[in-house]
Amino acid sequence: MSLDMIVNWMQATLRWSVPLILVSTGEVFAERSGVINMGIEGIMLSGALCGIAVSFFTGGVFMAVLVTMALGAMMGLAVAFLTVSRRTNQVVTGLMINMLAMGGTNLLFALLSESRRTRVATFPVLFPQSMHNIPIIGPILFKQPISTWVALILPILSGIVLYKTTWGLNVRAVGDNPQSAATVGLSVIKIKYQTVVLSGIFAALGGCVLTLGEVGYFASGGMTAGRGFIVLAAVVVGGWDPFKTALACLVFGAADAAQLRFQAMGSVIPYQFLQMLPYLVTVIALTIMVEHSRVPKTWGAAYDRRDV
């Protein structure tokens, strides 16, 4: 394998990891508060179509990001209402959101006949062309769109919020012992709503970056290709820590980028097996790391304020 191929693979690793890192950021906060947002796959898919549609009709990625965030917030609010207020089963609720999003995006995309044939505006590259030609680090870092740099900084900021702020402490307290948190005056319901809505916003942004990061188009029937479920695994592998989860997302992104390059090289390995590589890495990582992860004590459990 030549140096150019390695550099190209590393560049693609960052590019494919960015949506995962964005989605995982919000999911870490939700699960730290005790709520598993299983609907992030569907929210991510909805965000992907929303970004394409808004960018097509307005011609601007900034407006696409704003509208996508609003959509993610609304879908996160729906998940929070069902799982927190109505105390529905979090797994079943998430699967329902995913199925509705799959059918809804296919229907809406079929109606957007013009956008199906048009490549829309994508996120701009942050650094000038002269920096792209720097050996090795130029293509890997400086040729990336602005969304990549946001995703690289985000885990650090998330760690500061989670471990160094009062709100982050409250989130962790609610996830570990909501009854005790309520007795000291914390609004458990409010904090859970905040984190689930946050996970919806970042899930939608992850979908928007998936389509507007570089390709500029949407493919119906599986644009996200199970990436939301990979994020759920990455959160567990990362021990519900923003930085470690981001590293897990980089590993999964590297596997995804590798399988695409193996196919392009004309590998003798059947392409169906190569497509399994990211998911195989996910299963292996879960098997190795799950025993070493500290699970939030009320992870996935419904909260009943009458138990206080």
Domain count, the chain: 1
Mean pLDDT of the chain: 88
299 assigned to some structural domain = no
Which pLDDT belongs to residue 276? 80
CA distance 256 to 235: 18
181 assigned to some structural domain = yes
258 assigned to some structural domain = no
Query: pLDDT at residue 79 above 90?
Result: yes
Q: What is the mean pLDDT of residues 192-211?
A: 96
What tens digit of pLDDT does each residue of 257-299 get?
888 777 667 666 776 777 787 788 878 887 777 666 678 888 8
Of 9-18, 25-34, 167-176, 191-200, give the lowest mean pLDDT range: 9-18
Query: What percent of the chain has pLDDT above 90?
Result: 56
Which pLDDT belongs to residue 301? 86
28 assigned to some structural domain = yes
188 assigned to some structural domain = yes
Identify the residue with better confidence: 43 or 253: 43
285 assigned to some structural domain = no
What tens digit of pLDDT does each residue of 40-64 get?
999 999 999 999 999 988 878 999 9
Q: What is the mean pLDDT of residues 138-159?
A: 92
Domain that holds residue 170: 3-224
Query: pLDDT at residue 176 above 90?
Result: yes
241 assigned to some structural domain = no
Query: pLDDT at residue 115 above 60?
Result: no
Query: pLDDT at residue 144 above 70?
Result: yes
247 assigned to some structural domain = no
Which pLDDT belongs to residue 235? 94
